[in-house]
Structure 1
Amino acid sequence: MKKLVEVKDVCKVYNPGENEVRALDHVSLIIGEGEFVAIIGQSGSGKSTLMNMLGCLDTPTSGKYFLHGQDVSHMTDDEQSDVRNREIGFIFQGFNLIPSLTALENVELPLIYRGVGKKERELLSMNALSKVGLGQRMTHKPNEMSGGQQQRVAIARAIAQAPPILLADEPTGNLDSGSSREIISIIKKLYAEGRTVIIITHDPGIAKQARRIITISDGRIVSDIINPDYVEE
């Protein structure tokens, strides 16, 4: 399996010195192309800091992070932004949709920033919304949709330009159990199509939906297993 993500001896230290906090403490990790990984940990475990590193939203105090073989550890903000646009589709717990825009317009928005032409971005957005089962809701605004539907719009926005990595931060955290199952089902189907999926969660039930489970505690990886109970969608 070809390496997609490689984290080498990464530390993230806040308040260096006597009162320092090691949010990440010598973390090393490899994720191959086409894997489905859950990173699980309780509040304060370091999982959110690790997500920010993997998503090129932050840089390590020490150590290296390679994405597609490129060292992205100490890039400038602009360089990291370029990498995020090319490589990563984000799904956030809070949906992050713009209330005044339709589902289609919400999905199109990041493509505008990436310089995608009008016809192409409209086609990409329509295809993405259809893929998540919202082909009939493209003209609806967020307040006209359920929480589960809003999260599907967020997924469509993340996958519209087919980024290599789908990075989901507590993707079912604001949803009821029925909507949560629907979202996990969609994510599993995207994985089955060949996408690399990384879910950050505190919920063991969500983590057990992934093929590989990495547990982090006190800034360190304490276990990394292939899930023996994984069920294909």
Structure 2
Amino acid sequence: MSALVEIKDVCKIYNPGENEVRALDHVSLTIDEQEFVAIIGHSGSGKSTLMNMLGCLDVPTSGEYWLHGQDVSALSDDALSDIRNREIGFIFQGFNLIPNLTALENVELPLIYRGVSKSVREELSVEALKKVGLEHRMDHKPSEMSGGQQQRVAIARAIAQAPPVILADEPTGNLDSNSTKEIMDILKGLHKEGRTVILITHDNEIAAQAKRVIKIKDGKVESDSGQIVPVEELQTAGA
């Protein structure tokens, strides 16, 4: 598998100078296509800053971020917006649904911005809602659905145009245990279909369901369960 995400020696510094805050401190990592990765850390660890970087919502102070072989570290806002539209499906803790639109209309909305024709976007949206088990709720508005159903609409919206990367920020944070299981099962299913899923969480039990766990602490990668240990380190450990 080829690398989808490559972050090279990335720093994100706020208030440069005497009172600077290093939200990310020389972070390097690679995520391959079709991986299911959880990025975990406590509040203030830097995981949200890393998520913003991965989602092209922010750019690093220094270092490089390569997405699909393109260096996106210093692109303009318009160029980053275009990449977000094409490459990344976002799922947020707060659902971010438009209250006066139906489930189907909420899923269609980003496709309108992308210039997808009416017939095609309706077909894609219906298919996405079926995939998350909401074919019977397509005409319902968010207030007429449970939290778990609203999050499934948000997932359908994220996957409708089959972006290669699904970036899920605390997607189960507002849900009960049954809805949490439903959402995690959907994310696992998307991974099995070949999507790259990057899950941001503070919950160890949620993170443990991913295939790889990256722990962020004080703006640095503290541990990475997918990291390959160099041969010389293995030999030293066995000595």
TM-score, scaled to structure 1:
0.97
> Which deviations, in whole Å up to 9, do the C-alpha atoms of 1:31-65 show, x marking residues without a partner?
00000000000000000000000000000000000
TM-score, scaled to structure 2:
0.94
Question: 1:215-230, aligned counterparts within 5 Å?
Answer: 215-226=215-226
> Which deviations, in whole Å up to 9, do the C-alpha atoms of 1:53-88 show, x marking residues without a partner?
000000000000000010000111000000000000
Q: Which structure 1 residue ranges, 5 or more long, are not aligned? A: 228-233
2-structure distance, mates of 1:59, 1:194? 27
Where has structure 1 moved over 6 Å in runs of 4 or more? none
2-structure distance, mates of 1:123, 1:91? 21
Equivalent position of 2:71 in the other structure:
71
Letter in 1 for 2:181: R
Q: Which structure 2 residue ranges, 5 or more long, are not aligned? A: 228-239
1-structure distance, mates of 2:147, 2:78? 33
2-structure distance, mates of 1:88, 1:29? 18
RMSD: 0.8
Over the matched positions of the two proteins, sequence identity in percent amounts to 76
Letter in 2 for 1:39: I
Equivalent position of 2:98 in the other structure:
98
Question: 1:128-167, aligned counterparts within 5 Å?
Answer: 128-167=128-167
Task: Classify the secondary structure of the residue corresponding to 1:86.
Answer: helix
Letter in 2 for 1:117: S
2-structure distance, mates of 1:206, 1:98? 27
Equivalent position of 1:33 in the other structure:
33
Equivalent position of 2:173 in the other structure:
173
Equivalent position of 2:116 in the other structure:
116
1-structure distance, mates of 2:33, 2:156? 21
Equivalent position of 1:204 in the other structure:
204
1-structure distance, mates of 2:117, 2:76? 27
Cα distance, 1:6 vs. partner?
0.2
Cα distance, 1:226 vs. partner?
4.0
Equivalent position of 2:230 in the other structure:
none
Cα distance, 1:125 vs. partner?
0.1
Letter in 2 for 1:85: N
Task: Classify the secondary structure of the residue corresponding to 2:135.
Answer: coil
1-structure distance, mates of 2:31, 2:124? 27
